[in-house]
A and B are shown apart, each in its own frame.
Chain A
Amino acid sequence: EPEVTQTPSHQVTQMGQEVILRCVPISNHLYFYWYRQILGQKVEFLVSFYNNEISEKSEIFDDQFSVERPDGSNFTLKIRSTKLEDSAMYFCASLQGRSMNTEAFFGQGTRLTVV
């Protein structure tokens, strides 16, 4: 079965540091996503990415965040200067993209802890 893989599974960083979260989506998928989930809260949409550009982003996805797909395989989320409130689980997902008549695949997440 195809799967989305995320690395690292857990990242601890100091406030103000930059972090890069990595994802390998499913190879023939067209849409890629980042979501986050603060402990005990719901899964929140951050950004969607299609055709090598951002197709939609939420209010959470401010200038501190960026995404890229540098090599056609990896899909990364960068947080430039982490804050304590960025501590959360971050999930990557991919969708085949022909329509919504298909399932999205989610990774197991990266737990980011900002200290």
Chain B
Amino acid sequence: DAKTTQPNSMESNEEEPVHLPCNHSTISGTDYIHWYRQLPSQGPEYVIHGLTSNVNNRMASLAIAEDRKSSTLILHRATLRDAAVYYCIRGSNYKLTFGKGTLLTVNP
């Protein structure tokens, strides 16, 4: 049981920002929020993770709600190479459990 809820699919235009939402209303205080993505025919790839504070790295930003029941992955300028399935995962007990994720389509 992934215990996160994401939209099945989202669409974006190239060069525009993308906000991918995730609900994790039953998250415990020690669970990290991880985001991974899977490009076609590849293994999952780490994107970003956080606990309470918003996080930025070279790939994306992660905005975490104050109550930690939801988070949003932000791709600041989507490119065609960002087309992938994005997974929001609660990292707990040294295990990552994948849900169905959000299929992001990027239009040129």
A residues in contact with B45, CB < 8 Å: 106
A residues in contact with B101, CB < 8 Å: 42
Q: Verify B46–A105 contact, CB threshold 8 A.
A: yes
Interface size of A in residues (CB-CB distance below 8 Å): 25
Tell me, yes or no, whether B99 is within 8 Å of chain A by CB: yes
* CB-contact partner of A106 in B44, B51, B93, under 8 A: B44
Report the tally of A-B residue pairs with Cβ distances under 8 A.
59
Measured in the bound complex, the distance between the Cα atoms of B2 and A42 in whole Å is: 11
**In the complex, per-residue mask of A25-38: 1 if CB is within 8 Å of any chain B CB, else 0:** 00000010101000
Interface size of B in residues (CB-CB distance below 8 Å): 24
Measured in the bound complex, the distance between the Cα atoms of B93 and A50 in whole Å is: 12
**Contacts known (A91-B43, A106-B45, A107-B43); A55 close to B94, Cβ less than 8 A:** yes
Q: Verify A104–B96 contact, CB threshold 8 A.
A: yes
A residues in contact with B31, CB < 8 Å: 100
B-side residues, CB < 8 A to A, are: 31-32, 34, 36, 38, 42-46, 49, 51, 87, 91-101
- Sampled A-B contacts (17; CB under 8 Å): A35-B98, A42-B98, A43-B44, A45-B95, A45-B97, A48-B95, A91-B44, A93-B43, A93-B44, A95-B94, A100-B49, A101-B49, A103-B46, A104-B44, A104-B96, A108-B42, A109-B43
A-side residues, CB < 8 A to B, are: 31, 33, 35, 42-45, 48, 50, 55-56, 91, 93, 95, 97, 100-109
